[in-house]
Structure 1
């Protein structure tokens, strides 16, 4: 058996096309242009790339895109004042403060100030609670992307056994809640899980999000299972170069799984476009319009 690859880039392109159509409709029918504001503090090269890509994607969709770049030495008070100003700006519907932040700025303090209605990363306590209660409009972007890939690849997940390895607030916990909401039987595994390999072998859907390169071995995968690899790890390659690998030993797992996401080009490709989806949903909700079905 050789697994079918789940092409995140292709699915992201389909969602992008739908968002372009819906953005044009909102502008034509209601004069509404979704607005995304990004905030970057400092000069972390990876963060600069991520934010630049987010701004470019927003502009390509027809959004208003605003970027604020603060110095590495910016104080927590400066960042909080900026977030409050963006909360009050009616032309801004989504606010993304790029993490990680410099050590003098508490991430939780920023999230506590951020308006949950504009929290397009869905990290505020309010949006986490709404997800837990099954009433969330804004859902953490990578887990949302995972669910889109599962729906379009294998259809309904109801009744399937799903295992999420990793319990982070950014991915593991919201991913488990979304799978539960879709009526999968969900197990969460972590560093204290006993006999993890055997737990993995029971999973119809195996989701790895632990940040350890190629940690999940091929013989841990149930034959025919769907493998969602959320890991992005840079490791040494030939001739002094580096390469990206996931948390799953891909070359081994591809011989046992039914479907599998590659790294790169899998679930990670959905993250930015799902951020844009959240921004469009937030714009409609803040304008008192029906939430678009995108």
Structure 2
């Protein structure tokens, strides 16, 4: 355990996200030399306040990086067929490089059907089964943004991750499973802890790296951690206190930082990285589409040009 004056250092997600966004902006300027502007289409169905905030933040960050955004706000009464028709139009539009449907969608719409309707080449969330399968197989695909952001935080904090034991708490399709896969690709030994795990805390105490993505406020405290562990807290939970509501993670920050060597705060840790990697995926998708178009143009050379 750290001494009272030796608490874990904060992993500054805002600062590292700013670095990623600077890299994205440089890539956008390079594409501009080819007279190409990466374009992101954002679909928001309904008027969920949290989703509206997320969309505004994504569009603002996109504009700052030089990415063009096309926002469509559809009423909550939009049918699944209508939403799928909009997605089909965006899939077919060569000027649209990335498509983001802000989740959750209204209950009458099948979220899975929406995700699978997006062209995998434009699926900047990395949720399409083709991208998920490609990730597991080690292929170069668009990868879910939050796990990708977590990996950047870990590499910046720890350097080479080879041989480290990582515990991922949570097995969701959006964070837990892809996070475990990315850690495996970085040559970590990986344990996934979930609601059916026996003595989850004991398993967690073996970890050099802990990634908490379980959705339960302040569940993981100092007793779960090995001294010197690096903690990535993906959770964002709103709790009520005598002073009013506030955001906390899945990790009890005050307790955990007495044992850990480094930890992400909530807010200000993982959250900014998710948006940064969303835009990074948009640039990646743009470049791959340009390459694919060039390959098709070469393949379909007319007889007069041959």
TM-score by length of 1: 0.96
Displacement after TM superposition at 1:259 (Å) = 0.8
- How far did residue 198 of structure 1 move? 0.6
Q: How many residues are treated as equivalent by the alignment?
A: 287
* 1:81-132 Cα distance to aligned partner (Å, 9 max, x none): 0000000111110000011111111011112211000000000100000000
1:168 offset after TM fit, Å? 0.4
Other-structure match for 2:283: 280
- TM alignment of 1:191-270, pairs within 5 A: 191-239=195-243, 241-270=244-273
Partner of residue 138, structure 1: 142
Partner of 1:66: 70
Distance (whole Å) between structure 2 residues aligned to residue 137 and residue 114 of structure 1: 14
Shift of 1:238: 2.5
2:226 partner SS: coil
Partner residue of 2:299?
none
Structure 1 residue 64: deviation in Å? 1.2
How far apart, in 2, do the equivalents of 1:255 and 1:119 lie? 40
Where 2:190 maps in the other structure, the secondary structure is strand
Name segments (4+ residues, structure 1) moved above 2 Å: none
SS of equivalent to 1:162: strand
Q: CA deviation at 1:237?
A: 2.1
Residue aligning to 1:292:
none
Give 3-state SS (helix, strand or coil) of 1:36's partner.
strand
**TM-score, reference length from structure 2:** 0.92
Which residue, 95, 110, 113 being the options, matches 1:109?
Answer: 113
Q: CA deviation at 1:219?
A: 1.5
Q: CA deviation at 1:231?
A: 0.5
Question: What do residues 191-228 of structure 1 show as CA deviations (whole Å, max 9, x unaligned)?
Answer: 00001111110000011100000001111110000001
Alpha-carbon distance between aligned partners in 2 of 1:246 and 1:211, rounded to the nearest angstrom: 8
1:48 is aligned, of 30, 52, 61, to 52
Asked if the contact 1:142/1:274 (under 8 Å) is kept, the reply is yes
Q: Check conservation: 1:42, 1:69, Cα contact below 8 A.
A: yes
Distance 2:268 2:116 in 1: 33
Q: Equivalent residues in 2 for 1:34-183 (5 A)?
A: 34-183=38-187
3-state secondary structure, aligned to 2:71: strand
Match of 1:16, SS state, is helix
2:12 to 7, 10, 31: 7
Structure 1: tracts of 5 or more residues without a match: 290-294
Q: 2:20 & 2:275 partners in 1: Cα distance?
A: 11
Q: Which range moved further: 266-275 or 176-185?
A: 266-275
Separation of aligned partners in 2, 1:64 and 1:261: 31
Contact kept in structure 2, 1:137 and 1:281, CA below 8 Å: no
Secondary structure of the residue that 1:14 maps to in structure 2?
helix
Q: Compute the displacement of 1:60 (Å).
A: 1.1
**Alignment deviations for residues 239-289 of structure 1 (CA, whole Å, 9 cap, x no partner):** 3x1000000111010000011110000011100010000000000000008
CA distance in 1, matches of 2:88, 2:238: 36
